[in-house]
Structure 1
Amino acid sequence: MTGPLQRELLTREARRLAPGASEESALGRRVFVEGKGAVLTDLDGNQYIDLAAGTLTQSLGHSHPEVVAALTEQAGRLWNVHDFATPDRAALCDLLADLLPEQLDTYAFFSTGAEVVEAALRAVQAVAEPGRNRIGALRYGFHGKTQGARMLVHWDIGNQSLAGNSVLGYSPYCYRCPLDLAYPSCGVRCATLVRRHIAEKSNVSALVFEPVLGAAGVIVPPPGYWEQIADSCREHGVLLVADEVLTGGGRTGTFLASERFGIQPDLVTLSKGMASGFPFAALAGRSDVLRHPHASRAGSTASTYAGNPLAIAAAKATLEVVRRDTLIQRVDVLGALLDERLAELQATYEVLGDVRGIGLLHGLEFVRDRTTREPAPEVAHAVYQAALDLGLRTSVGGHIIRLAPPFTIDRALLEEGIALLGRALERVMGEQR
């Protein structure tokens, strides 16, 4: 339960703060004051294992000492001189060149995921051939809350329609197949339709996609999906723009999720875990795209806080630790443990209709009935709240709970976190009997 100090502060804050917070914040009603590694502490002194890693941002856990040191040192030297060069920026470019696939050899730096997605859209529009005035995207995709990002997925607000020129293809949501088919007998029909409606159209310039759809509930594509689409896009001159804001930096067991699926993107957007939660984003791309005369005009990659020295320092320190400590290999090991423990929970609780994931990124889909697969957001919310009361933080949205532990989490602490999740399920299901 939320303690008295937190209740008082939340009541005072509510008098001034606009509504519209995330579901997890509104439901959780916690005031966190400290984070160390994979453990959070609230205003009343209660501690929580954080299996959401901030907002899927804390790859190294909270307050990693080397990132803190890099930020502290930089804060005492220089904060912002627009987009002038700094020694750390050159070093970060070299580090990215070492970590990213060879074809992604040119970089631009920004502040947020949505900002870098908008930058990618500008680059696509700048280099697109005459007549290629449409962009493809996937249903259920999420690319940010700015207007261009919303237009990609036809995300309307109020009475305003912002469909723009984007063309939507089917996501590989096997658990809720929109075509009422079943894998593998479906022949990955969703991919065939993406090829037909996007990749093979002469007026489409690019396909913007999440290799694993994150906000939609960790939708992991089956074998054959990306192989068909990527090859067809390449054949028909459609640029591949991988939105790896959530997955980039190692969360799926490779530095880019694209690598796991054999995709060779032309542009990649990165943010979240790249700088341990400090506002930072990077656009990585092929030289012939980002150095194209129309994409590289003065100001094309500049904005007030883009690539500021503090963000660069946080990203450089984070990625140096990821590389030095071989944390991406650790993601695979811990991910296998997470697979095993979550499968045990699914076998025990009928309310878990589907459990899916890759590396240290998993989604638990709650249903009222496994036959009808009717979503059960009220159960997901109750489990999320019960877990908080037991000392476990997860990420909830609708009828799905996501887990994304820090790469550095101790195996025993991860086991304890999953045990607490099991206790939360047991408590909620016991109360509903």
Structure 2
Amino acid sequence: MTRHRQRAQLDREALHLAPGASEETAVGGRVFAHGQGAVLTDLDGNEYIDFAAGTLTQSLGHCHPEVVEALTAQAARLWNVHDAATEDRDELLSLLARLLPEHLDTYAFFSTGAEAVEAALRVVQATAPPGRNRIGALRHGFHGKTMGARMLVHWDIGHQAFAGNSVLGYSPNCYRCPLDLEYPSCGVRCAALVRKHIAEKPNVSALVFEPVLGAAGVIVPPPGYWEQIAEACAANGVLLVADEVLTGGGRTGAFLASDLLGVEADLVVLSKGMANGFPFAVLAGRAELLRSPAAASAGSYASTYASNPLGIAAARATLTVIERDRLAERAKRLGELLGERLRALQARFEHLGDVRGLGLLYGLEFVTDRHSRTPAPEIARAVYTTALDQGLRTAMGGHILRLAPPFTLDEALLDEGVRILEKAIEQVTA
């Protein structure tokens, strides 16, 4: 695999580009030139099966012809008229109303997931009754890098602490239980504590959560976790705000992961896969919240790129294909095949400590050994780079690799991707 042209470009960029890229980009050192479906090609002509789907965004794969056509046509007509109405926006609203649960019937459009999360927080704060001045979140959750999103999870930077008014509850990480218990004998104690400290507290207005924690390593909750919490929140007037930036749009095998897990959220944030990787985000919610005079004063849902015609065109084309071709069902079916193959790898390799996922979203956790479960980021990094050199792109972070291939991936490419992954693990851990 030659990389001469890529290395030359990266050397030139390093003269002016600020460091701080993602770990996978910094380690991978690739310059991608074009993509088609589930395959990427770099500047030197090398090809890669993209099991990361961009940045877990390309639901339909790279450069899907219908999305390209919609964007190209819109680019020739109109780009930005602030948040004024356009023809496509009306049709996108109707499409969302068909795809989302009936109670989520009101929508606001934004350009990034973090921007939509911030808007959700404003809605919660504007509509919360007096005395409900705290917000719940889950440890190790990720909701973006803006101030409000960071404050939710107590993410400090430098010497600045911005814990805000959030209360943190335990995430449902059975592989690394924070309470040193075992499922199912634990009785889902983590959920009971979230219920006690967040859902049943009279000063908490909302719980902001990822149904499946993505950046934390694809943490899939066990049965009983969300059932307990959701029931307690509903009974005590605590709003449920589902951050489905990663999972929304069909990736877990249902249009919303919260639906799949039996959670009826009051507000839902969607972004990554909604416009096949084009910058676009949606805040969906109950009418009584998003239409509340306290939350909907002039400019509340407006921003420079909110409702921009290009994002709307890409989203409408993407969601039309997902609905028409029943791609959420396809993601579920392919995910079952992927899960079988990954669990076979787990059984074979001592350093692959845990495999977990839903639909076409999986996390692979690498450890020094199964007994100690000590995180092994050096192994994960070596597997990532080895697989990349052999033509498979994954998403790396610390000691975890995430897999989120496009819904349009065919079974032959899925099998080839897993074969490359198996070969990479074998070479690294031999």
TM-score in terms of structure 1 length:
0.99
In the TM superposition, what are the counterparts of 1:316-355 in structure 2 within 5 Å? 316-355=316-355
Aligned to 1:279: 279
Distance (Å, rounded) in 1 between the aligned partners of 2:255 and 2:325: 14
Would you say the 8 A contact 2:84–2:307 is kept in 1?
no
Distance (Å, rounded) in 2 between the aligned partners of 1:404 and 1:293: 39
Q: C-alpha offsets along residues 274-295 of structure 1, whole Å, 9 cap, x if unaligned? A: 0000000000000000001100
Distance (Å, rounded) in 2 between the aligned partners of 1:376 and 1:277: 30
Aligned to 1:182: 182
In the TM superposition, what are the counterparts of 1:127-138 in structure 2 within 5 Å? 127-138=127-138
Structure 1's consecutive aligned runs of 4 or more residues displaced over 4 angstroms after TM superposition are: none
Residues 1:381 and 2:378 aligned together = no
* Matched residue count: 430
Q: Which amino acid aligns with 1:343?
A: R
Any unmatched runs of 5+ in structure 2? none
Give the C-alpha shift of residue 429 in structure 1.
1.3
Q: Which amino acid aligns with 1:115?
A: E
Give the C-alpha shift of residue 128 in structure 1.
0.3
Aligned to 1:309: 309
Q: Describe the SS at the equivalent of 1:273.
A: coil
In the TM superposition, what are the counterparts of 1:108-123 in structure 2 within 5 Å? 108-123=108-123
Distance (Å, rounded) in 2 between the aligned partners of 1:327 and 1:250: 7
Give the C-alpha shift of residue 332 in structure 1.
1.0
Aligned to 2:265: 265
Distance (Å, rounded) in 2 between the aligned partners of 1:127 and 1:347: 50
Distance (Å, rounded) in 2 between the aligned partners of 1:350 and 1:26: 27
Distance (Å, rounded) in 2 between the aligned partners of 1:412 and 1:114: 36
Distance (Å, rounded) in 2 between the aligned partners of 1:403 and 1:380: 13
Q: C-alpha offsets along residues 406-431 of structure 1, whole Å, 9 cap, x if unaligned? A: 0000111111000000011111112x
Aligned to 1:82: 82
Q: C-alpha offsets along residues 40-67 of structure 1, whole Å, 9 cap, x if unaligned? A: 0000000000000000000000000000
In the TM superposition, what are the counterparts of 1:2-401 in structure 2 within 5 Å? 3-401=3-401
Distance (Å, rounded) in 1 between the aligned partners of 2:369 and 2:77: 58
Give the C-alpha shift of residue 2 in structure 1.
5.9
Q: Which amino acid aligns with 2:425?
A: L
Would you say the 8 A contact 2:208–2:243 is kept in 1?
yes
Would you say the 8 A contact 1:2–1:30 is kept in 2?
no
Q: C-alpha offsets along residues 351-405 of structure 1, whole Å, 9 cap, x if unaligned? A: 0000000000000000001111100000000000000000000000000000001
Q: Which amino acid aligns with 1:26?
A: A
Q: Describe the SS at the equivalent of 1:175.
A: coil
Distance (Å, rounded) in 1 between the aligned partners of 2:120 and 2:313: 23
Q: C-alpha offsets along residues 240-283 of structure 1, whole Å, 9 cap, x if unaligned? A: 00000000000000000001111000000000000000000000
Q: Which amino acid aligns with 2:239?
A: L
Aligned to 1:404: 404
Would you say the 8 A contact 1:33–1:43 is kept in 2?
yes
Distance (Å, rounded) in 2 between the aligned partners of 1:70 and 1:10: 32
Give the C-alpha shift of residue 89 in structure 1.
0.3
Q: Describe the SS at the equivalent of 1:272.
A: coil
Would you say the 8 A contact 2:2–2:46 is kept in 1?
no
Q: Which amino acid aligns with 2:123?
A: A
Of stretches 421-430 and 213-222 in structure 1, the one that deviates more from structure 2 is 421-430
Distance (Å, rounded) in 1 between the aligned partners of 2:328 and 2:303: 31
Distance (Å, rounded) in 1 between the aligned partners of 2:77 and 2:402: 38
Q: Which amino acid aligns with 1:227?
A: E
Q: Describe the SS at the equivalent of 1:364.
A: strand
Distance (Å, rounded) in 2 between the aligned partners of 1:345 and 1:320: 36
Distance (Å, rounded) in 2 between the aligned partners of 1:372 and 1:423: 25
Distance (Å, rounded) in 2 between the aligned partners of 1:2 and 1:252: 36
Q: Which amino acid aligns with 1:386?
A: T
Would you say the 8 A contact 2:114–2:145 is kept in 1?
yes
TM-score in terms of structure 2 length:
1.00
Would you say the 8 A contact 1:2–1:29 is kept in 2?
no
Distance (Å, rounded) in 2 between the aligned partners of 1:171 and 1:307: 34
Distance (Å, rounded) in 2 between the aligned partners of 1:90 and 1:150: 33
Q: Which amino acid aligns with 2:207?
A: L
